[in-house]
A = this chain, B = another copy of it.
């Protein structure tokens, strides 16, 4: 369970000001990505599962309140109010696995301005990591064109928690499994692994190490062949493959971790096939990502499965999303919601309660999205679903397997251009007439008033 103190300090100081001046004020906030990262043509929504757990359990413990009291900034009245606070707002969201684009809210919160503001940091933090990784991982899955891809990133993710969420997000995006055992246990993701160079080094020679491993796991052995000399390593693996075959077992695979993977995989495939070991799979690892996998496949590499680590696990070419949480309306004294927007240079936001509509052609291909107002009549399927009402989850939220299916299905509705890894593709997101009108009139009024 995440502590409710995991927030930016200003959420609390603003909350106390709201407590004094605006205890009954309600507001709507949109969580969205302001601009697409350079190498991303689409994003995959991920993180809602954790957010719902967080919101359901949002409260400050006695001990946390006493820490806040020590800051000598908060009144007893406010702290006692904080002790009773629970999240009682409404939440609309894109289900996990939904493909979406810049400026489209993936979460919309309406509720007490205090509650809606206090949860900001956690919501941003969670969506930033998980959506960033699901979006990167989706590209890796596409690049592998049906071959298996495994998450081997734990050692380079940003801490233990990130490691677990990366396994989940990448599985959601279509990865076949993970090396992270704890993530496998928590989310029922298949776990996979091979062996390390240190294992080979710890034996007198490579063949001894291969034999030792194969004897313990005769049906699950993947031999790492590049500790000393890769071609020699492949030959040693062939020896083990023949040995296992004679005993009625099948060597599962070999792993290439350095050198020219195309050349070495062709060499290995040939050697293996020649000895009747067609069933032995070739795994490739070593700084792989969607760009390198695309190139390897284009060059005819004989790789069956890719192990992808650091580059996916930290989303190396875009290690953060430009994700923000912006107020779009606020209630006045009578309780009526008034649209609001930020006017500062280059960072203008869209006002009002919004919905995302996806327009498909007759064949079911997605052709454009329209960002419109929630009540507006727009032809197209609305993507934001009402998930929480008054702080209670009101619909079944898809589990990981369902989110994984949704991601696959969603993505298949887009043209091939969107999924092209090397060429950015600009999917059209239009602004509806209603939203355009609201934005222009509000901007004019605000400029005048200031």
Query: Hey, which bits of chain A sit against chain B, CB under 8 A?
Result: 2-3, 5-14, 16-18, 20-22, 25, 27, 29, 64, 67-68, 71, 73, 113, 117, 120-122, 124-126, 128-130, 152, 154-165, 179-182, 184-185, 191-199, 201-202, 205-206, 212-213, 215-217, 220, 226-230, 232, 257-259, 310, 313-316, 319-321, 323, 325-327, 330, 340-347, 446, 449-450
Contact = CB atoms under 8 A, between A and B. Distances in A.
Output the residue of A9, A67, A450 with the most chain B CB within 10 A: A9
A278 B227 CA distance: 65
A100 B320 CA distance: 27
B9 A181 contact: yes
Contact of A121 (B5, B155, B316): B155
Contacts of A216: 13, 16-17, 20
A125 B157 contact: yes
B22 A202 contact: yes
A137 to B, nearest CB: 14
Given A10-B195, A67-B185, A181-B5, A212 B343 contact: no
Nearest to A317: B319
5 contacts: A6-B163, A9-B179, A11-B193, A13-B195, A161-B161
B314 A319 contact: yes
B156 A159 contact: no
A13 B217 contact: yes
B13 A193 contact: yes
B121 A220 contact: no
A317 B357 CA distance: 36
B9 A201 contact: no
Given A10-B193, A122-B160, A159-B161, A320 B310 contact: yes
B195 A160 contact: no
A344 B228 contact: yes
